[in-house]
Amino acid sequence: MSDTDLEDLPGVGSKTAEKLRDAGYDGLMSIATMSAADLSEVADLGNKTANKIIQAAREELDLGFQKGSDKMAERENMSKITLSSTKFDDLLDGGVETQSITEFYGEFGSAKTQCALQLAVNAQLPEEEGGLDQGVIFIDTEDTFIPERVEQMAEAKNMDPDDVLDNIFVARAYNSDHQILLGDKAQDIMKDNDIGLIVVDSLTSQFRSDYVGRGQLADRQQKLNEHMHTLQRLANTHNAAVVVTNQVMSNPGQLFGDPTSAIGGHIVGHASAFRIYLRKSKKNKRIARLVDCPYLPEGEAVFQVTENGIEDA
């Protein structure tokens, strides 16, 4: 949940931490949600100390209320990354936001990866050109991070392709556990580097192949949930944008509308502030639809994918 060890909490020595871990309380969240009575029993502590530890864990996790004005101040730091298409940017009221998770979902070839790569380039643009002037972390689960394609997109924007590639930390995730680990590692990279965007392309494919069968669904959803929490925390603490891609599965039970739904169900849906459904249109045209945004109207934008990357149709 957090990179703080139990030992970092005031009043928790190595002995107490060990007792807690033995009893199954190994994360800050499990401590933060305990009662002082339970904690003092499990860890053999006085009530007062137990209370102090719980308070510290809660503060560390930032679980309390916040004033609307603080929330507003946070939002004022929020920036946006352009998608290189005015229609697409308009749909999102300016582009992909920092401090939030944005999900691109759609069938194969719908341009999820193209959007992800374009954003990895555009995040590096100066702010007045719709970028963040910051670096990128790219977690690649399908081996679709193609440097040549990034070069192409960078050149189209008169950016130095070598610099652009230099500012992207790419890691290939070999399975879902590895992907989760890379999410945690992203934190270390972000301590030492100025990162404005984290991409996970694709969020769900490894989970889908590692957890097959109905019996494993709950496990899969729990792991996925944890992974999304890590990403959301990085987005908040570093004022970074998080972009994830997601495939769709056909949903033959649905009679009206588009009979497809995103993998990962409500876990991924609820964790993403912005969900963009991409579908193919004629030739190189694609349609983006903003789905379920808490404060922007639903709508659609048509864009195209060319050698230059994403563009207005």
Choose the contact partner of 4 out of ligand ATP, Mg ion, none; CB within 5 to 8 A by kind: none
Task: Work out the angle at residue 39's Cα, subtended by the Cα atoms of residues 37 and 41, and round it to the nearest 5 degrees.
Answer: 70
Among 40, 84, 85, 114, binds ligand ATP (CB under 6 A): 114
Residue 26 has φ and ψ, to the nearest 5°, of: -115, 0
CB of 144: closest distance to Mg ion in angstroms?
5
Find the binder of Mg ion among 79, 98, 113, 247 (CB under 5 A).
113
- Interaction with ligand ATP in 179-238: which residues (CB under 6 A)? none
Q: How far is the CB of 153 from ligand ATP (least distance, A)?
A: 9
Residue 312 lies near ligand ATP (rule: CB under 6 A)? no
How far apart CA 241 and CA 308 sit, in angstroms, is: 23
- What 185-190 contacts at long range (C-beta under 8 Å, 24+ apart), as own/partner pairs, is 186/137, 186/139, 186/230, 186/234, 187/3, 187/230, 187/234, 189/137, 190/137, 190/234, 190/238, 190/240
**Subset of 227-266 contacting ligand ATP (CB under 6 A):** 247
Which part of the chain contacts ligand ATP (CB under 6 A), choosing from 41-49, 107-115, 161-169, 225-233?
A: 107-115
One residue of 65, 108, 256, 295 binding ligand ATP per CB under 6 A: 108
List the structure tokens of 234.
Answer: 């990085």
Which is nearer to ligand ATP, 149 or 229 (by Cβ)? 149
Nearby residues of 286 by Cβ (< 8 Å), 6 or more positions away: 110, 111, 278, 279, 280, 302, 303, 304, 305
Q: Are 268 and 262 in contact (CB under 8 A)?
A: yes
Q: Is residue 205 at the binding interface for Mg ion, with CB under 5 A as the rule?
A: no
Instruction: State which of residues 127, 184, 188, 307 lies at the interface with ligand ATP (CB under 6 A).
Output: 307
Q: How many residues bind ligand ATP (CB under 6 A)?
A: 16
Give the whole-angstrom CA distance, residue 275 versus residue 299. 12
Residue 144 CB coordination number (10 Å): 15
120: tokens are 């990895």
Q: What is the bridge-based pairing of β-strands 248-250 and 260-262?
A: antiparallel
105, 112 contact by CB (below 8 A): yes
User: Which of the residues 64 through 103 are near ligand ATP (CB under 6 A)?
Assistant: none
Choice from 109, 147, 259, 265 touching ligand ATP (CB under 6 A)? 109
Q: Is 305 a residue that touches ligand ATP (CB under 6 A)?
A: yes
Residues that bind Mg ion (CB under 5 A): 112-113, 144
Residues lying near ligand ATP in the complex (CB under 6 A): 106, 108-114, 144, 149, 152, 247, 284, 305-307
